[in-house]
Chains A and B, each alone.
Chain A
Amino acid sequence: LAKTTQPISMDSYEGQEVNITCSHNNIATNDYITWYQQFPSQGPRFIIQGYKTKVTNEVASLFIPADRKSSTLSLPRVSLSDTAVYYCLVGDSDGGATNKLIFGTGTLLAVQP
């Protein structure tokens, strides 16, 4: 079974780059790795998704090594409004016909002025 691990919390200052890593072993070989952001009292919001190597969009970059046992979300120049909990989401293959999704434990990012 897949298991995911994220740092519980991280602190940063406005304008800095923040890298959050999720360790995930035994993920499904055909599944993408996705990152979400969640604010209090709201559902998670999609940030970025990738399968391998590097993906970049207008808000973040995602780095995935060849063994896909981890992924790193990179947030450039964070602001106060980036204070939130960040989750990785991976697929877990039990070898059968169905997959299940597993969220990481979540990382609370606190951005200071």
Chain B
Amino acid sequence: KAGVTQTPRYLIKTRGQQVTLSCSPISGHRSVSWYQQTPGQGLQFLFEYFSETQRNKGNFPGRFSGRQFSNSRSEMNVSTLELGDSALYLCASSFPGTSGNYNEQFFGPGTRLTVL
């Protein structure tokens, strides 16, 4: 079974631009979560999508948004990029239980975003 894939793997943008990252979950998984990882803040939860609906959300500004398609693939978008948005963005998929019981999440390799 193929793992979680994320595209692109590396991205360089300039301040003020916007970016869209893509995540394809493991076949059969319907929950997709996004995380930001930086040396200073560690791993931070962005949001979780399940059946095309945002089910849970972390404490990130509205510049960070996402969506999920009917085939469970997900995209996240960051508008008006800031230098502090430089990070590794990780996507994870799981076959969810009830909300609150986060079954084993399978992480992709991440997209390394650099904002200049």
Q: Give which listed residue, A34, A44, A105, contacts B107 with CB less than 8 A.
A: A44
Q: Give which listed residue, B42, B44, B110, contacts A43 with CB less than 8 A.
A: B110
Question: Given the interface contacts A43-B90, A87-B43, does A32 sit within 8 Å of B102 by beta carbon?
Answer: yes
Whether B43 contacts A103 by the Cβ 8 Å rule is yes
Whether B45 contacts A100 by the Cβ 8 Å rule is yes
Which of B65-116 touch A at CB < 8 Å?
90, 92, 99-110
Question: Which residues from B are CB-within-8-Å of A102?
Answer: 45
Q: Which range contains the number of B residues in contact with the other chain? A: 20 to 34
Whether A101 contacts B107 by the Cβ 8 Å rule is no
How distant is the Cα of A18 from the Cα of B33 in the complex, in angstroms?
Answer: 30
Q: Tell me the nearest residue of chain A to B94, going by C-beta.
A: A46
Question: Given the interface contacts A87-B43, A105-B42, does A99 sit within 8 Å of B107 by beta carbon?
Answer: no
Question: Which residues from A are CB-within-8-Å of B56?
Answer: 98-101
Question: Which residues from B are CB-within-8-Å of A41?
Answer: 109
Q: Give which listed residue, B102, B103, B110, contacts A101 with CB less than 8 A.
A: B102
Whether B100 contacts A106 by the Cβ 8 Å rule is no
Chain A residues packing against B (C-beta within 8 Å): 28, 30-32, 34, 41-46, 49, 87, 89, 91, 98-103, 105-106
Chain B residues packing against A (C-beta within 8 Å): 4, 33, 35, 42-45, 48, 55-59, 90, 92, 99-110
Q: List 8 A-B contacts (CB under 8 A).
A: A34-B105, A43-B109, A44-B92, A46-B104, A99-B99, A102-B45, A103-B35, A103-B44
